[in-house]
Amino acid sequence: AKTVFWGDIALDEEDLSMFQIDRTIDLTQHTNMHPHSRQDFLPQNESKGGTSAKSQTWKAGKVVKSRFPRAATSRAERIWPGGVIPYVIGGNFTGSQRAMFKQAMRHWEKQTCVTFIEKTDEESYIVFTYRPCGCCSYVGRRGNGPQAISIGKNCDKFGIVVHELGHVIGFWHEHTRPDRDDHVTIIRDNIQPGQEYNFLKMEPGEVNSLGEPYDFDSIMHYARNTFSRGMFLDTILPSRDENGVRPAIGQRTRLSKGDIAQARKLYRCPACGETLQESTGNFSSPGYPNGYPSYTHCVWRISVTPGEKIVLNFTTMDLYKSSLCWYDYIEVRDGYWRKAPLLGRFCGDKIPGVLISADSRMWIEFRSSSNWVGKGFAAVYEAICGGDITKDSGQIQSPNYPDDYRPSKECVWRIAVSEGYNVGLSFQAFEIERHDSCAYDYLEVRDGPLETSPLIGRFCGYDKPEDVRSTSHILRMKFVSDGTVNKAGFAANYFKEEDECAKPDNGGCEQRCVNTLGSFKCACDPGYELAPDKKSCEAACGGLLSKLNGTISTPGWPKEYPPNKNCVWQVVAPNQYRISMQFEAFELEGNEVCKYDYVEVRSGLSSDSKLHGKYCGTEVPEVITSQYNNMRIEFKSDNTVSKKGFKAHFFSDKDECSKDNGGCQHECVNTVGSYVCQCRHGFVLHENKHDCKEAECEHKIHSPSGTLSSPNWPDKYPSRKECTWDITAMPGHRVKITFNEFEIEQHQECAYDHLEAFDGDSDTAAILSRLCGSKTPEPLVSTGNKMYLRFISDASVQRKGFQATHTTECGGRLKAEVHQKNLYSHAQFGDNNYPGHTDCEWLLTTEQGYGIELTFIIFEVEEEADCGYDYIELYNGYDANSHRLGRFCGSGPREGIYSPGDTMLIRFHSDDTISKKGFHIRYTSTKFQESLHVRK
């Protein structure tokens, strides 16, 4: 079905059929500046044409015969049954984004009776994803399958997600109410051209405002400058209140009182009761202990962290007693709603026993229909973490996730899936206090049910652990926090896992079967490679070499190596010997990351032996010496670019370093027929070639990301020290420095110890900042692809120093000159495909009277008929309102492109799915203006 957009609201054909308009427009062709993200809005299927004529007629600037309600949908089928909204979070979001989505859902749950649950077998559900529209959602429940809630770039903020969930629940924008002219004024002259339809007013027919007054504070209200021609020009002006003050509008912080009242009315929430989300709490009947009123209906929903259970204790019970508790009663259900399994129905004065949920939610409903006056009831609950779980799949989270876990917690889970299967564990998010040996807070995973079962891993820090697989049908998890630092914790999915390789047919593999989580893959013995059927093996390059010396080379050397090759050489020498590998020539695809073609050298014979290095590009590796008497060399090529390859010699000799470390102060490295001494980081080799002395503090950095720190970090930096960092990014990308910790001697003008940043490759470039003190500075970003940092300490006070992360940002302003310059799609071009969720803009300028010419050296961007997914756009001017020279994807333009003006805008966009190798452009300024090269 065709989808168009009204602001951040997705409209289907049924919605559009309610419009009656008198001039033809195409809503799908508007470039909508989103009120939250300032992102372009595009329909989901932009390439498939416009909307129907029926949906494209305007009359007097307003919608007539509209059935769109203001704040809440009046169509019953758009209401989620029981207020239950199943959800799925797409796989491209980070752990912190997932946590924030859950916080936004819990915010709605806390204030209303709406409940969000992870999808199981429900037919209708929402999917958090990233669509071309940026931030957008349908209003209410569409039915018949999944519906998207798009959280695009710059939309992943708590308030914006709460706003988009408001649309999901069933709300439209506040400023479109039929009575809005009594409360706000629309200043049409300030609205961006083409965005006027976002300020349409609804007709009163069948509008369901639920009797609530106009709410300036609503999270569903636009801000004063939404879709404005300028930041300081109002498009919506609120009327003054009785004190002559204009109310603030457009907040994206939390639900307003009006939002909460509207939602409770829309979903007919009981007058009493609430959603309880704390780890402990209490609740009681209305009027307790002085008696409850007749005809009372209350619902309490207890929702704690997945992986926890709820223990409910009634401390008082004094209700009217009847057969089967027909009149006044309390029902407790083991789940999130009124149809969950019944734990008990209670009345009279007998206090029930302790009730324990099987999962992390509990539903308590209280009804009275008699005139009998009793005290009522009171209850307390507590969330307990850990326990035995006997399900084939589910989720486990640290206590209080996604908020910080509590101090001094110890949780033990024993997960048992069906017999004959293994337990698979996959982490979605992980953030536990970091320590080298995980001594404070940690998650421990064991292969079995006992504390003495084999340890799979003890995890802490901020890196997600690798997927875990048990060898039996039981897995034990133990989470421990101490009394100090608390973090967000972890979220993990568990599921039953089958070892396909344990079957009699070996998974159908001819030689070796390798089990993976949820699947398996076939592999071959050394000297063989997988055939095209991915099951059988055929002879390959490589093999077992037992000579003391010899030569190896890539297939076809010195011609280009073939694609899709996997060669493994295993070199074995006598005991007490070491093997050295020396490359004579080296030319493989790639630069640093070595994602495409590469050679790996390891000490040992297996694929998980100690790795000496992974090599690609054209730089000849240093001599590599094994730790043992054997070495493994593996070469792999992908299915595209091929190069000349490599030729290498291997030699075996005795290890002189094995006795007294060769006399070296730091490290001894064995070489062919001899040895050399090396020094650790921060030191250089003494003239005697054995001892080490302190090194100069100069750094040249070419990697796209990494960390840098003051000398001696994390201890205090030394006195009288000068350190420099010369950082170079890929052409077309800027250097960004983000400070993680910062503590340098304080002075008003930073005259003593300080860190200086220069916008270029030396201290003669323009200064970006001069920093000292203990306040963490804002990030620094260069205007070009170079930044120079200089740290100086004097003779007196020393502090801890600083630690920072250097990354790259795409885009910027570039100067085209007569000689050619390079521009690359992404910082890891040549090593990795370009990332998803990318939006980059480069503005090329040159001298007046000159034009700009582009030559595409490499162009490989996701192919699509109308370039609707990933693409590059070129404009002859400063912005997207200038003349467009073309939009390109796939293999790009067939020839160079020339812009006759002295400015050119290059825009690159990628979505969240398929990515390719990207592009390499050379640009130059020229007076050649005879033709315009654009794709027709």
Active site residues: 164
Q: 163 labelled as ligand-binding?
A: yes
| C-alpha dihedral sign at 623, 625, 631, 634 | negative
Backbone angles phi, psi at 28, to 5 degrees: -75, -15
Tell me the residue type at 46: E
Contact 413, 307 (CB under 8 A): yes
Q: Is 884 exposed, middle or buried (0-12, 13-18, 19+ CB in 10 A)?
A: middle
Q: How far apart are CA 154 and CA 128, in angstroms?
A: 15
Beta bridge partner(s), residue 446: 455, 476
Backbone angles phi, psi at 323, to 5 degrees: -65, 130
Q: For residue 233, how many C-alpha atoms fall within 13 Å in the half-sphere facing its CB?
A: 12
Closest CA to 572 of 530, 614, 609: 609
List, in order, residues 6 or more apart from 242 with CB less than 8 Å away.
Answer: none
Beta bridge partner(s), residue 887: 873
Closest CA to 633 of 653, 604, 655: 604
Q: Is 575 exposed, middle or buried (0-12, 13-18, 19+ CB in 10 A)?
A: exposed
Q: How far apart are CA 180 and CA 236, in angstroms?
A: 11
DSSP designation for 450: S
Other CB atoms within a 10 A radius of the CB of residue 401 amount to 23
Q: How far apart are CA 151 and CA 37, in angstroms?
A: 10
List, in order, residues 6 or more apart from 532 with CB less than 8 Å away.
Answer: none
Q: How far apart are CA 498 and CA 471, in angstroms?
A: 10
DSSP designation for 370: S
Strands in 661-785 per DSSP E: 667-671, 674-678, 683-685, 692-694, 698-701, 706-709, 721-728, 733-743, 754-758, 767-771, 780-781
Coil, strand or helix: which one is 662? helix
Q: How far apart are CA 46 and CA 268, in angstroms?
A: 38
Encoded tokens for 304: 């704690």
Contact 469, 423 (CB under 8 A): yes
Give 688-693 contacts, CB < 8 A, sequence gap 24+: 690/663, 690/664, 690/665, 691/665, 692/665, 692/666
Q: How far apart are CA 197 and CA 39, in angstroms?
A: 17
Q: 173 labelled as ligand-binding?
A: yes
Q: Is 534 exposed, middle or buried (0-12, 13-18, 19+ CB in 10 A)?
A: exposed
Alpha helices, DSSP H only, in 39-126? 95-111
Tell me the residue type at 320: Y
Strands in 534-593 per DSSP E: 537-539, 542-545, 549-553, 566-572, 577-587
Closest CA to 315 of 378, 381, 383: 378
Q: 34 labelled as ligand-binding?
A: no
Q: How far apart are CA 81 and CA 647, in angstroms?
A: 68
Strands in 498-576 per DSSP E: 512-516, 519-523, 528-530, 537-539, 542-545, 549-553, 566-572
Q: Could you list the residues known to form a binding site for Zn(2+), using ranges.
A: 163, 167, 173
Binding-site residues from annotation: 163, 167, 173
